[in-house]
Amino acid sequence: MDPVDRLRSAGKRVTDPLETMSQRVAERVVDLVVQALDVNALVRRVDLNAVLDQVDINKLLARVDMSALIDQVDMNEVLARVDISALVNRVDVNEVLARVDVGRLLDRIDVNDLADRIDLDQLIEQTNLGAVIAKSSAGVTTEALDAARSGAVGLDRFIDRWIGRALWRKHPRPAAPQALLNGAAIDAGASP
């Protein structure tokens, strides 16, 4: 037998039991350390921001199967934790409306369908048609009376001119009675 092989054989007889024994010692030491270790205290001492700064989120997310992850997430539970009021308060409505294309929005509205949804009977019940008719008929009546008075004044002047010509008057008649032209009738009507 080769002397080197003898040394190897002897070394194995010594090292194999020592290796097994060292593994047992290491396992026991690890168990003792883990039992003695306060994990919560250790985690409190870790600077998580420094750890997270070293993590490349994009590489991490590239390795994650997002559809499988989403399938495992209970969206109702996530949404139950969201403060919708705080989220809505952060929305700038004017900015959102500035982005809306009103023309395209109106193109999508079916006006006929919208008109079919209007309950005309209920609308008429809630409208005070008597007041509307009274206002519009009062306006029409006033306009008709104004037109009739204007026509009567015009006809009166026309007749006065023809009578003046028929009677051969040389001077035109005054536009109003003398008392009204001087303002005497106005003063007399104002004082009792």
Reading the block at residue 106, the tokens are: 């109106």
- For the residues 49-78, what does the mean pLDDT come to? 84
Reading the block at residue 134, the tokens are: 């009274």
Chain mean pLDDT for the chain:
78
Q: Is residue 186 within 8 Å of 180, Cβ to Cβ?
A: yes
Q: Specify the pLDDT at position 44.
A: 83
- Reply yes or no on whether the pLDDT at 192 is more than 50: no
Q: Is the full-model pTM beyond 0.75?
A: no
Q: Specify the pLDDT at position 172.
A: 67
Interval 93-144: pLDDT, tens: 888 888 888 888 888 888 888 888 888 788 777 777 667 776 767 777 788 8
Interval 131-172: pLDDT, tens: 777 676 777 778 888 888 888 888 888 888 888 777 777 776
Spatial separation of the C-alpha atoms in residues 2 and 170, rounded to whole Å? 169
- Reply yes or no on whether the pLDDT at 90 is more than 50: yes
- For the residues 171-176, what does the mean pLDDT come to? 68
Q: Is residue 177 within 8 Å of 184, Cβ to Cβ?
A: no
Spatial separation of the C-alpha atoms in residues 128 and 130, rounded to whole Å? 6
- Sequence-distant (6+) residues with CB within 8 A of 175 are 181
Residue written as tokens 């403060």?
A: 83
| CB atoms near residue 160 (< 10 Å) | 14
- For the residues 15-38, what does the mean pLDDT come to? 82
Residues, the chain, total? 192
The percent of residues in the chain predicted with pLDDT above 70, rounded, is 80
Spatial separation of the C-alpha atoms in residues 149 and 155, rounded to whole Å? 10
Identity at 157, one-letter amino acid code: R
- Reply yes or no on whether the pLDDT at 88 is more than 60: yes
Spatial separation of the C-alpha atoms in residues 70 and 120, rounded to whole Å? 49
Q: Which residue has the higher pLDDT, 12 or 153?
A: 153
Q: Specify the pLDDT at position 6.
A: 67
Q: Specify the pLDDT at position 78.
A: 86
